[in-house]
């Protein structure tokens, strides 16, 4: 989007805050573009079930070989869920970049199967790329193998 387009949107928003929202257009993204965008950010939300209820946790991630990798630790609800369900651990991962003023940007949702990463060398490699942003040792990683990747871009 050009600087002129952004300036025009912001000026319109100042006069009529709902105008940018009314001018939205949703563009569906193909899986490759959605994963590329997901790989361009490092923070998202993982959604899984805990005590039969939806649970959402903010986590950092990388995209490696088409899979989404998140760090966690032994006692985390996510690790308990994945360990307890084994190969059937279905979850959803979502990340987005939406401008708070213009409401333009993108959102990506990955639905897939999750497994704990057990290979020590692979875990070490992810550890070098996924820095914890909470004050706790992150000694595990979860690999989400996408089965369904959807995304949309909000434009004017």
Range of the domain at 75: 3-155
- The count of structural domains within the chain is 1
pLDDT of the chain, 156 residues: tens digit per residue: 566 665 666 666 566 655 555 567 899 999 999 999 999 999 999 999 998 899 999 999 999 999 999 988 888 899 999 998 877 789 999 999 999 888 899 999 999 999 999 888 888 888 778 776 666 777 889 999 999 999 999 988
pTM here?
0.81
> Cβ neighbours of residue 154 under 8 Å, at least 6 residues apart?
24, 25, 26, 27, 98, 103, 104, 105, 106, 107
Q: Any idea what the CATH number is for the domain that residue 69 is in?
A: 2.30.110.10
> Cβ neighbours of residue 15 under 8 Å, at least 6 residues apart?
none
The helix or strand, by DSSP H or E, that contains position 9, with its residue range, turns out to be helix 3-15
């Amino acid at each position: 989007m050009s600087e002129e387009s952004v300036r025009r949107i912001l000026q319109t928003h100042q006069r009529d805050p709902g105008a940018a929202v009314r001018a939205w257009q949703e563009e569906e993204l193909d899986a490759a573009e959605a994963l590329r965008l997901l790989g361009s950010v490092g923070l998202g939300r993982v959604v899984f079930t805990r005590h039969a209820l939806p649970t959402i946790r903010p986590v950092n991630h990388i995209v490696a070989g088409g899979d989404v990798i998140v760090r966690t630790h032994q006692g985390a609800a996510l690790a308990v869920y994945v360990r307890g369900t084994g190969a059937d651990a279905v979850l959803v991962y979502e990340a987005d970049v939406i401008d708070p003023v213009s409401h333009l940007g993108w959102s990506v949702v990955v639905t897939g199967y999750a497994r704990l990463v057990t290979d020590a060398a692979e875990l070490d490699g992810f550890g070098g790329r996924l820095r914890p942003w909470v004050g706790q040792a992150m000694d595990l990683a979860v690999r989400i193998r996408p089965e369904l990747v959807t995304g949309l871009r909000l434009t004017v």
